[in-house]
Amino acid sequence: MTMPFLEVANVTKAFGHFVALRRISLTVREGRTTALIGPNGAGKTTFYNLLSGRLQPSEGTVHFCGRPVSGQPPHKINKMGISRSFQITNIFSELTVLENVLVALIAHLNLGLRFWRIVNRDKKLAARGMEVLERLGLGPLASSRAGTLSYGDKRLLELAIVLATEPKLVLLDEPTAGMTPEETHAVIRLLRSLAAEGKYTFLITEHDMNVVFGLADHIFVFHHGELLAEGTCEEIRAHPEVRAAYLGEEVD
Amino acid sequence: MRKKIQLGVLLLLAVVLVLLPKVSPFFIVFVATEILILGLFATSFNLMFGYCGLLSFGHGAFFGTGAYVAGLLLQHLQWDFIWVLAVAPLAAAVGATLIGWLCVRLNEVYFSMLTLAFGMMVFAIAHQWRSVTGGSDGLAGFPLTEVGIGLDIVLANPFHFYYLTLLIVALSLAAIYLLTISPFGLILRAMRENTERVAFAGIPANRYRLYGFILSGLFSGLAGALFATFSRVAVPEMSHWTQSAEPILMTILGGSQYFFGPLAGAAVFLGLKTLITSYTSEWMIYLGVILLGMVLFLPKGIFGLLERWLGGRT
Ligand SMILES: Nc1ncnc2c1ncn2[C@@H]1O[C@H](COP(=O)(O)OP(=O)(O)O)[C@@H](O)[C@H]1O
Ligand SMILES: [Mg+2]
C-alpha cells in the first residue's frame, strides 16, 4: 500500500456566505498528468490557493505524500515539493531573466544566507539556472530584464521559476491563458515532453476543455465549486453532465 | 567600460577623502566627518528601502540606541573605543530584532507607520528615563577613551577622528555592498518587487525581511555610536522622527536604486544645510524648497541624473 501522492479530503472553502468550493475530495496520482477544468468562477484558482498555502480551507484537509499541507505557510509547502504558477503572471520584472530563476534556485538550494558569496560570480549556480532557461527556450534572453519580455515569454519564465525549485508536484494555473494559438501549442508540447521525463507530476487548470484533451491522462471537472466529474479524456468528453455544464461551448 | 568609469570615480573619491585633511580647513573636515557618518546611516536605511522595498520611518530608534549605548559605555565604563564600537551596534541590532519581529509582517504604509510608532517609543524612553539617559539634556561630557588594540589615535583630535571614521565607514560600506551582491541581496531585491512570489519559491519571506532589518539596524547603530562620539553628546533628538526622516531625504536625493545614492544624498543634504545656515537661521525653509525641487525634477536622484548624462542604462 503506497502513500497517496496528493489527497484532498472533504475540502470546503467559504468566503463569508459565499461557498467557493464545496466538499471536494480527490486524489492526484504521482506521474499522471492531471487537469482541472471548469468554467471561469468554478473555483480552480481558489483550489490552488488552498493547495499552495495562500488560503486555508474552511473545512477538510489536504495531504501530500502523507504530510499535512493545510495549516502550512507557502514556503514550507514549496519545500515539501509543491510549486505553483500564477494565473496572472507573477515574475520579478526588474530583475534579469536569469536572476528570476536564480531566486528560485537560491531558495531551493538553501543558499539565501551565504552572505559572503557573490551571486554573479557563482558559475555553478548560473549554469544550473541556464539549464532551466534553455529547457524552456529562454536561454538567449537570460540577461534581458524580465519586464521587457513578450507576454508568452513571461508565461514561460513563470514556469521556469516554478521548475527551478525541482518540485514533485507542479500546479499550473491556466499556463496558456492569453497566449496565441501557436504559443499555446508550443506550451502544450513542452509540458508533454516535461511530463514524459517523469520528474514532475503536473496538475493543470484550464477553462477551455479542448486545450487539455491532448495533454492530460486524468481530468477533474469543477462546476460552481463542486467536483462534477472525473475520468479519462474519453469519459469526460462523453459525460452528459459535463456536456450540459459546457452547453454552448464546443466539446469535441 | 562602465565598470571602469565607476571604479575610477571610486578611486578618485578615495584619494580626495584621504587627502582632504591635508588641504582643507578644519571646518570642512568637520562637515566631511558628519557626511560620512550620516551617509553610513542612510546607506543602512536603504538596505531596507531601496533593496527590500520597506520604508522605515523609525530608523532613528537604532541610530539613537547606538548613540546612547556608546555614551553610556564611555561615561560609566570608559571602555576602549573599539569595544564601544563593537557593542553599541549590537545593542541597536537587538532593538531591531524586537521591533523588526513585529514590523516585517506588515507591508507598505502599515510597515512605515509601525516603525514610526516604535521610533517614537524609543524617543519617549530616551526622553523620560532620566536616571539613565539624562532626560532632555541627554548624555554630555562623557570622556573620550583610547581607541585600543594599540592604535595611536586621539579621538578628541578632529583629524584623527576623521580618519578613523573614514576607515570604519569604508569598511562598513564594503560589508553592506557585499551583502547586496550576495544571494541574500538578490532575495531582498526580489522581495522588493514581489514578496509573495518569493515565499512561493520556498523562502520564508518575513524571516528574510527580519534579517535585513537587523543588519540595517546594526549599521545604523554603528553610525549612531560614531555620531555621539563625534558630537560629544547623546540626546533624545537622535531617535526622534526628524532624525529618521534624514536618511529618507538623503536616499531619495541621491537615488535609492544606486548603492552610493544615499551617501551622495548625505553629501548634498549636509552641504546645502551647512551653506544655507551660514547665511540665514531660516535654513529649514530654503533647504525644504531646494529639496522639493530636486525630488520633483530628479525622480531617480542625483545618480539617476548622472546616469542619463553618461548615456543611460543598458
Ligand atoms: N478572496 C476571495 N474573496 C471572495 N470571493 C472570492 C475570493 N477568491 C475567489 N472568490 C470567488 O470564488 C469563485 C471562484 O473563483 P476562482 O477560484 O478564481 O475561479 P476560477 O479560477 O475557476 O475561475 C468566484 O466566484 C470568485 O469571485
Ligand atoms: Mg482561475
In a domain, B206, yes or no: yes
Pair (A230, A120) in one structural domain: no
Question: Is residue A73 domain-shared with residue A179, that is, in the same domain?
Answer: yes
Rounded to 5°, the CA angle A3-A9-A13 comes to 140
- Residues A71, A94 within the same domain: no
Distances (CA, A) of B238 to A16, A122, B228, B244: 48, 41, 9, 8
Q: How many domains does chain A have?
A: 2
Q: Output the nine-digit C-alpha cell for B275.
A: 551653506
- Which residues of chain B does A111 touch, with a Cβ-Cβ cutoff of 8 Å? 183
Q: A249 pLDDT exceeds 60?
A: no
Residues A153 and A204 in one domain: no
Q: What is the mean pLDDT of chain A?
A: 90
Instruction: Tell me, yes or no, whether B102 lies in a domain.
Output: yes
Question: Do A181 and A158 have their domain in common?
Answer: no
Q: Is position B176 within any domain?
A: yes
Residue B58 alpha carbon to ligand 1 centre in Å: 38
In contact, A116 and A163? CB cutoff 8 Å: no
- Overall domain count for chain B: 1
In this prediction the ipTM stands at 0.91
Distance from Cα A44 to the centre of ligand 2, integer Å: 5
* Dihedral pair phi/psi, residue B86, rounded to 5°: -85, -40
Say what the pLDDT of residue B303 is.
85
CB distance B213 to B100 below 8 Å: yes
User: A174 and A252 in one domain?
Assistant: yes
Identify whether residues A181 and A70 lie together within a single domain. yes
CATH code of the domain in which A242 resides: 3.40.50.300
Last residue of a domain, one of A121, A137, A166: A166
What single DSSP character describes residue B143?
P
Tell if the CB–CB gap between A111 and B190 is shorter than 8 Å.
no
Res A223 pLDDT > 70: yes
- pLDDT, residue B213, reads 97
Task: Judge whether A92 and A100 are in contact, CB under 8 Å.
Answer: yes
**pLDDT over 60 at A196, yes or no:** yes
Weakly modelled stretches of chain B, pLDDT under 50 = 313-314
Ligand 1 site, residue A33, Cβ cutoff 6 A: no
Mean pLDDT of A107-124: 92
Using the 3D structure, point to which of A113, A143, A166 is the last residue of a domain: A166
- Asked whether residue B216 is assigned to any structural domain, the reply reads yes
Angle at B120 between CA B191 and CA B89, to 5 degrees: 65
Q: What is the pLDDT of residue B8?
A: 87
Pocket lining: A100 vs ligand 1, CB cutoff 6 Å: no
Chain A residues contacting B via beta carbons under 8 Å:
52, 54, 73-75, 78-79, 83-84, 86, 90-95, 99-100, 102-104, 106-108, 111-120, 122, 161, 164-165
Tell me if B92 is assigned to some domain. yes
Domain that holds residue A111: 90-166
Could you tell me which residue, A188 or B148, shows the higher pLDDT?
A188
- Contact pairs from chain A to chain B, CB under 8 Å: 103
Please check whether residues A102 and A147 belong to one and the same domain.
yes
Report the predicted TM-score, pTM, of the whole model to 2 decimal places: 0.92
Is the domain of A94 the same as that of A46?
A: no
**Among A12, A13, A19, A46, residue to substitute to test ligand 1 (most atoms within 8 Å of Cβ):** A46
The pLDDT, as a whole number, for residue B166 is 96
Domain that holds residue B112: 26-239
Alpha carbons A78 and B294: distance in angstroms, whole number: 45
